[in-house]
Structure 1
């Protein structure tokens, strides 16, 4: 498995064009891996690279790194800074790249020498650095050299962490286990590897039916002790003391945390990714981060049981949202800034997730009523449940979830999304998995209708982080796993897609009351309606009939509606009408009238419907009409259908499952579609012949030729020169358009 391909490509591209590169990330983020792979690619493309290896003596001995460089380059030893700089400047060749892993471990003397060498020569630097290191310790870093490229690394997403865990464990991984690994490590690759491998070796994981699952409540094991200590040992003593105090005491108020080591130390630790905000609005506490590091200092008996005193326990969605935001730019937190929420509106929420929350049984009967009413599409009962919960408790998840279910069935997707996204509201504390799964299900369907991929992603990940719900809510959980698989139907996340679908089939192998259950769904919806329209229409109608005849008309209507959005056909249209006839949900009756018009209505009726435009913006149906228009052979009727689609808002539902890629996007030239090997060969194609590339990579010239042909076809170019330009140029540049700067960039 090749993680960090885009980052390596970005760094190599910048260095090939004369820029220096900084790889910025916390320890464990994979920055050393990116540097090492970039160096390998540079050496294969015959760029002169000098790497400095850290052996732990860099900071302790002034001038140590400079002396290493002198020995590596074969220059005469020297003692004075000016003499060392002169010797290095004469020893480096044109275009030399100096690679340094960990500027924080380099002594100030050597850095001053390197600054002098940089000013005298055209040497470039490839370095790794902690976030904010130059601000906190300006004497121990290289000043920005222009032009320069900064490659920022943050935590892995769920799909990447799942793929990494499968690679480490050498087998399929339960998606719920991948979610735990992601949550405990904040997606840091080094920690994911450590936690997965040590948990396996200490029998905290078990392989059942070929799938790795948790065998214990906590994955912590004593093999992690020296690993975590080694990770923390390279930080300054005040930072280590602060992290230990926060981990032992649990989250502390901002003022108390500053009292331990001062505001500067707190800000430094937060920049380095060792401290983060905890809690909800109005709560100015900070905590040790990631959770795995914090667990190092917890009481071992409590850790083994999966609990910890003073640990903040909140909804899984807060953690899902934090993990997502840490991978986005522009959301950095200043721990020493104002603590109040109004003064810091962009401050990302952060929660330590208690992954072992037991479901509450206090309102089990009410939850059963909620499930039955939602499965039947009974909006009146849902409203009564919400009213009763509001009157008895005044708050809690049952009120917004029941209301959100009803809003969704009545066609108001925007209101349903707002109410079901209660998981992100910071005031909600300690939701049980049942509540999280129910809310995530409604939020996902509503977000799909609204075309909000961020809400879809956040809701699906929140359900995984919450863990397995009670037996009654297992069908909903299985449905979410299936929807998650459909959401990840692209090739880049194939392993996670397969694992999600398999786990969903295991939990709910037959169609059930909720959209997403049943092993037939993914095969039906993921099939290509353009390849064999009649077969797709028949399979979709059959999937709906199976659900309707099993007593689940709402699931039948939802399933057929999802398929009709991408492939309209008469059999499925008729089956949709039969399913809706058994429902009392107003939104589906509106859709059924439209489907009947698209299937059997006259051209005049279609034009009249476009003129009436009676549907409001809460339930856009333009994709249904566009799907029917794609099947229409009569020009006049197709024109009428396109007019109706425009009247209904056109293609306003980008959340169609599976996510469809437009033809223009499929035919475009995007280097990200290349495999790792194709990209590597493409980068060499501008400098070497096929035989030379084969010699460099130890493969045959015919293999090189095949890779080049596929890469050129994917990139939409016809020459190896244009292919090199595509993969080495800045984002947005295209050889046929001359790029943002006009002429083709110089190869070198």
Structure 2
């Protein structure tokens, strides 16, 4: 019991919905009502409670009405919950409306809150309609997103101005945060992905699955993270939660869910053969059915949230056999549907970003489960084929799955040792051997063991010597250091080439920040490439490195869409890594975090791309690391720590993330650590990683040592696309405000427009920390002028300067508004007096060392944790 109270003590759902709560508060402050809609368990009531708590603290009178399923047929049940003083004999609709209207007309600010409007009885609705016609008091109401409102409910809702707020399912990073809040510690990547998949991002289910799994010992604590003790999270304690969730279903819908639990993921045309269309339509309307477009089979559907399927599978029924026969008959008779054509628009970047934003409404859990089932089916079929004939071709076919999908290490090891190479295609034998070498690295034997495996193979197969040397070069450069001369790549044997030479050459040129040479090396279709997707990966990242960010984004997002349709997890992970860099570089944090979240929802991938998975965890944690007081709660904590500080690509090594996450807010110390890390990256030959680290560090905390290294790297590599940024950064570091003003005045928008904004913000914060008030004011003015000329639509990444001298929550709220509002306007917004606002600003100026309202605003702009 003590454990359960600990769980309840740590549950703070409100923090997950900070941005939604703030949006409602902003609407209410302007006298606008809000309709909050979402699926059952989506957090509507939690959001309302947080809104009410915030408003009551500021003196607003909140009048709360709750609809109850058991009371919706009892006259006046909801309105009587207000405790209005009704005189005997005066209890009609208009009598109660008179009393309630009088209450709302008293001095002060009022808010009407109705939770579960669809469950409010008719008589209470009539009172509310009459009251809303007489009062301009705003109303916040919650309802299911798919509810068909009655005339009475619409009469209450459609009175006065109203905003609409949709509560979407939580994504991976929000689930990570919520589990940490519920259980008191974060979960590892696989556990977080499993809970997200089972709950479909439903907050109530996330909380209940985490709680009950912990109570049932299905989750155990290892290395300060919760991990799964077995392969399931289902337990009997979840039954009541799901019974409540399914309480409104009709009998045919309930039966339909049972059939679907047996079928698993199935084509829609198959479902129509065993389930009445009305029942399917009802389930989809209520949010219990997810439909996904499959590239090969047309539309497919499955139960959502997936934990409902576990509920049905846990209660066996005698009719299962009969339903199963129906399913089989439907599968045999059904024919696959044709895939629909993809619309084409003229602006490619707008098109791919629009597609990505539309995809945010999709069900991550559904897509992840579809990938898992597809991978499991392929693994089973190819495994049986290999067991029957242990040929190199059959082994290579199965091992290719493990490059992207989760790997069965024991089985993969058997494949590498028991496969015969008699009469085998050299490409297949080589692929198996390279996989064995990579598996040695994955299992901790080290990069030298992998090289030994390949060298032994080369001795036994001299006709494949060139290909093996390329593979050794690839592995050595990716897990150690890049050789000084990458121009001499072994040529493949004539007529037996695997396409590796150009790929390895291109990859090494990419590591060494020679994007033009990398693009030239991988020019061509590469239909015979030994490594799938490596050519596209090099091309996409080389475009990004060359400053052609838009082209890189279009290529990567198109590639990712195709990989998702083909259920190709390897392609999804690699394309998402490339796309994430382009999105982050342009400041599209919301889109980048969703894109990476959809990858994390699938769980850890195969052993070849798991380093990119960890890299994305660190990239996703950067925003949190710069702004949060406690960065250890960041999603990046799920990345493996037993990796070097330097790596071939951004995020693969942990050094850059560790540097930023553990910044102690002392600029000189940051300069020393950053310079040391960048020099280590350069020494390893990872010039691209060094350049991007130096660029980010210059933006966050501009200093001479790091800027000098960045200039040298760009000069040596012959890359000129960052020239405007370098000129501005030099003026900033040298304190030449006159030159800086001229450069900003004549600045032409380029790929670094977002980075220039970061640079100016970082310089301002550095001057404040150093106590240089004059320089801080000059930088605040320059930053403001630039922001006016190039208004940022995206939040700017910058260090939180208040880890050592934190402001109070109210002081931060005031400071955020101080840049563009008067004291009177701030007071009205926060419902405090102008004199109190002035006191808060004075305290914030004293604590931070800022010398003006504007510089204070610039400092505090991102001091709150990311929403």
Q: TM-score, normalised by structure 2?
A: 0.60
The whole-number CA distance in structure 1 between the counterparts of 2:654 and 2:686 is: 16
Residue 510 of structure 2 corresponds to residue 377 of structure 1: yes
Instruction: Give the conservation status (yes or no) of the 8 Å contact 1:437–1:476.
Output: yes
Residue 435 of structure 2 corresponds to residue 424 of structure 1: no
The whole-number CA distance in structure 2 between the counterparts of 1:343 and 1:63 is: 53
- Matching of residues 395-544 of structure 1 within 5 Å: 397-408=533-544, 412-421=548-557, 422-425=559-562, 428-432=565-569, 434-449=570-585, 451-453=587-589, 456-491=592-627, 498-504=633-639, 506-525=641-660, 532=667, 536-544=670-678
Picking from 41, 46, 52, the partner of 1:33 is: 46
Higher helix share: 2
In the alignment of these two chains, the number of paired residues is 623
Question: In the alignment, what sits opposite 2:817?
Answer: 715
Question: In the alignment, what sits opposite 2:773?
Answer: none
Question: In the alignment, what sits opposite 1:94?
Answer: 103
Residue 676 of structure 2 corresponds to residue 548 of structure 1: no
Picking from 291, 302, 308, the partner of 1:293 is: 308
The whole-number CA distance in structure 2 between the counterparts of 1:257 and 1:648 is: 52
Measured after TM superposition, the shift of residue 24 of structure 1 is 1.6
Picking from 734, 737, 748, the partner of 1:632 is: 734
Question: In the alignment, what sits opposite 1:589?
Answer: 717
The whole-number CA distance in structure 2 between the counterparts of 1:518 and 1:381 is: 21
The whole-number CA distance in structure 2 between the counterparts of 1:69 and 1:498 is: 44
Structure 2: gaps (5+ residues):
1-11, 105-109, 317-323, 326-337, 345-353, 380-397, 401-430, 439-470, 479-503, 765-779, 788-794, 796-806, 839-852, 854-867
Instruction: Give the conservation status (yes or no) of the 8 Å contact 1:530–1:567.
Output: no
The whole-number CA distance in structure 2 between the counterparts of 1:453 and 1:500 is: 15
Question: In the alignment, what sits opposite 1:105?
Answer: 119
The whole-number CA distance in structure 1 between the counterparts of 2:61 and 2:745 is: 61
Question: In the alignment, what sits opposite 1:724?
Answer: 827
The change in CA–CA distance for 1:625 and 1:567 in structure 2 (over 3 A counts) is farther
The change in CA–CA distance for 1:537 and 1:11 in structure 2 (over 3 A counts) is closer
The whole-number CA distance in structure 1 between the counterparts of 2:135 and 2:647 is: 69
Residue 69 of structure 2 corresponds to residue 69 of structure 1: no
Question: In the alignment, what sits opposite 1:154?
Answer: 168
Residue 144 of structure 2 corresponds to residue 130 of structure 1: yes
Q: Deviations over 1:511-551 (max 9, x none)?
A: 2333224454235456889974x655443332122233345
- Matching of residues 137-536 of structure 1 within 5 Å: 137-138=150-151, 142-237=156-251, 239-251=253-265, 253-254=267-268, 269-280=283-294, 283-298=298-313, 348=359, 349-350=362-363, 351-354=366-369, 361-362=399-400, 363=431, 369=471, 372=478, 373=504, 374=507, 377=510, 390-391=527-528, 397-408=533-544, 412-421=548-557, 422-425=559-562, 428-432=565-569, 434-449=570-585, 451-453=587-589, 456-491=592-627, 498-504=633-639, 506-525=641-660, 532=667, 536=670
Measured after TM superposition, the shift of residue 176 of structure 1 is 4.7
Q: Which shows bigger deviation, 211-220 or 449-458? A: 449-458
The whole-number CA distance in structure 1 between the counterparts of 2:81 and 2:664 is: 65
Measured after TM superposition, the shift of residue 164 of structure 1 is 1.5
Question: In the alignment, what sits opposite 1:651?
Answer: 753
Measured after TM superposition, the shift of residue 169 of structure 1 is 0.5
- Matching of residues 665-680 of structure 1 within 5 Å: none
Q: Which shows bigger deviation, 406-415 or 30-39? A: 406-415
The whole-number CA distance in structure 2 between the counterparts of 1:556 and 1:411 is: 16
The whole-number CA distance in structure 2 between the counterparts of 1:227 and 1:406 is: 50
Measured after TM superposition, the shift of residue 221 of structure 1 is 2.7
Instruction: Give the conservation status (yes or no) of the 8 Å contact 2:64–2:82.
Output: no
Measured after TM superposition, the shift of residue 442 of structure 1 is 2.6
Q: Which shows bigger deviation, 161-170 or 400-409? A: 400-409
The whole-number CA distance in structure 2 between the counterparts of 1:620 and 1:400 is: 25
Q: TM-score, normalised by structure 1?
A: 0.68
Question: In the alignment, what sits opposite 1:676?
Answer: none
Instruction: Give the conservation status (yes or no) of the 8 Å contact 2:618–2:636.
Output: yes
Q: Deviations over 1:349-368 (max 9, x none)?
A: 55431375579523566776
Measured after TM superposition, the shift of residue 130 of structure 1 is 0.9
Q: Deviations over 1:61-109 (max 9, x none)?
A: 352526x62893243577xxx9620331233233176543212323445
The change in CA–CA distance for 1:294 and 1:524 in structure 2 (over 3 A counts) is same
Instruction: Give the conservation status (yes or no) of the 8 Å contact 1:163–1:495.
Output: no
Q: Deviations over 1:430-478 (max 9, x none)?
A: 334x554433333333444455545533443244223324445444333
Instruction: Give the conservation status (yes or no) of the 8 Å contact 1:622–1:649.
Output: no
What value does the CA root-mean-square deviation take over the aligned residues? 5.0
Instruction: Give the conservation status (yes or no) of the 8 Å contact 1:487–1:659.
Output: no
The change in CA–CA distance for 1:100 and 1:245 in structure 2 (over 3 A counts) is farther
The change in CA–CA distance for 1:569 and 1:247 in structure 2 (over 3 A counts) is same
The change in CA–CA distance for 1:377 and 1:57 in structure 2 (over 3 A counts) is closer
Classify the secondary structure of the residue corresponding to 2:36: strand
Structure 1: gaps (5+ residues):
302-308, 311-337, 582-587, 595-618, 674-704, 737-748
The change in CA–CA distance for 1:531 and 1:227 in structure 2 (over 3 A counts) is closer
The whole-number CA distance in structure 2 between the counterparts of 1:632 and 1:536 is: 18
The whole-number CA distance in structure 1 between the counterparts of 2:761 and 2:594 is: 17
Instruction: Give the conservation status (yes or no) of the 8 Å contact 2:186–2:225.
Output: yes
Instruction: Give the conservation status (yes or no) of the 8 Å contact 2:698–2:759.
Output: no
Measured after TM superposition, the shift of residue 168 of structure 1 is 0.7
Measured after TM superposition, the shift of residue 419 of structure 1 is 3.4
The whole-number CA distance in structure 2 between the counterparts of 1:720 and 1:565 is: 32
